[in-house]
Structure 1
Amino acid sequence: MDQAVIKPTIDIIVCASMKNSDDSITKPSSCSQSPPFLTKIHAGYFFISLSFGAQALLWKSLSEHNNESQTLWHGFNLMPSVAYLLLWCLAVFIATILSFLYMLKCILHFHAVKDEFSHHIGVNYMYTPWISYLLMLQSSPSSIVPRTRYYEFLCLAFSFVIFLLDVKLFGQWFTTEKRFLSVVANPVNLVSVIGNLVAAQVATEIGWNEFAISMFSLGMVHYLVLFVTLYQRLTSNNQFPIVLRPAYFLYFAAPSMASLAWKSISGSFLISSKMLFFLSLFLFLSQVGSIHLSLSTISCQF
């Protein structure tokens, strides 16, 4: 029964159209039956546009403090403002290309998208397009994307998609025996937490405070449950692929995003935001320390 639950870990990276481990054994050349370019495109590639959108939002936040001459960010006045615009344009350009390619995959190879959605790791990547869209909207220059009702509609639409994904994912954890969280929990599940927190921050910006609080509370409860589940997971559970080990850094990305989201909701950087920030800093140091110890162990072996 354990073999039926555990799916091939390389599906999401190479070929998401493989539905189970038996197919990967009996049909090793199933990827070659379809154009490899589209079948290898999965939702995880939207992490590229997500990262550029987050960087653009960071530069936008720094530029907003440039008018305060006595602040720590006064040195950023020397940096050209065109860098922020270039980052945002690059994020939009990458997201547009990836969205076009993924739509082609949905049309031409819908079975591959369906199998990706049913995968216990791949389903978490479905959050990344909508998170990147929200970050690009939030970091967009007001001269290019005016804060009108259309802007609010897009923010709510993308946030609602994240909410629908939550309903689908949480429903599987509660009702489906082979999808219990204790069985399928992995660090990539934290992407859904970040999606809820980004949606909460964007909802606060457009004035939907009640919706922002609901998304924030949903994300934080989800994070606590995931943190405890992943912390005490058994060795008999699904092994996380080595190639996806960088996803462990999502442990501190979630509380860091929660700190920013609560700062937006409360209007100031209060104690709760500081607690979340220091938690993310501690988890970051823990991750860095574990990497240092691993490298030291490897060097001692040689």
Structure 2
Amino acid sequence: MSTALRVIDYARIRELAKPDAVIAAVRHAFRNHASGAVRQAPVTHLAFDDPPGDCHVKWGHDRAAGIFVVKVATGFYGNPDHGLPSSNGAMLVFSASTGEPIALLEDRGWLTDARTAAAAIIALETAGYQRGEPLGILGAGTQAALVAYWAALMLSPSSIFLWARRAEAADRLVRDLAELNIPAERMSSPATLAQQSLAIVCCTAARAPLLSVHDVRPGSIIVALGADARGKQELDPDIIIGAQRVICDDIEQCIDHGEMQHVGRLPCDIEALGNARLPLKSRPITIIDLTGIAAQDVAIARLCLDAIQERRDAR
């Protein structure tokens, strides 16, 4: 007999998915993905011009988790002008034994933003980011804000430098961070931001490079997570070609619709994030291309379901 579909609402999801737990789950997901333990279907994209936005569908199955997940994530970039978040979406969880739907995670896209922020933290750590050094963030939307909050919590940067196309959005995020005693400052351009910080996370929907090869210095770490569909681009291709180390969450996806889509020839040997390790010597110029993988969605959905079950068992 089928069980009723469980609907987990936004407030409950925010309560369940804490930063340290999400980061641990996503770290494990990357390892599973790199080992081939997770199956995933090709990502589906739907772009919108007026108003500008996009919709992504990811689906994956982790045999060890006992579930498969279909995740729909949307981003409509004019929403903040109307007092709405730019991100939205939901996850539908199925039993991998019977095919029955188990749960609808009504997360409004927050779990996607959370697992992406977690990926950025993991990428920075893997590339050799040192606690306490400055951090630059390009973008000031929902994703950029979450990266800033979680980086402040987990990495303790001495300061966060921000740039966004809309200066008022960057100023608003600076104020929000200041209310939490997180030092932050808006920069006038991506180039000036790169002068202040060797470590940069790119969180925009740009379709032309924001950083040029001249902005890269010895020891630079650039985490590019905005280019998750064809046509999107945040980095000059010469940055990737000249990098000493390139890491991808999924190499095929990054070549198809990440920053790597704009590179005419492949650079140095590309590493999978799930297999990558800390640099042994001086920190090389490192680019991390993150397109988002289904293994992350399966892991964070399993995290929420397990947390609910643990609370029930504790009663």
Same fold by TM (over 0.5)?
Answer: no
Which structure would you say has the larger RCO, counting Cα contacts within 8 Å and 6 or more residues apart? 2
Which one has a bigger Cα radius of gyration? 1
TM-score by length of 1: 0.28
Query: Which one has the bigger helix percentage?
Result: 1
TM-score by length of 2: 0.28
Query: Which one has the bigger strand percentage?
Result: 2
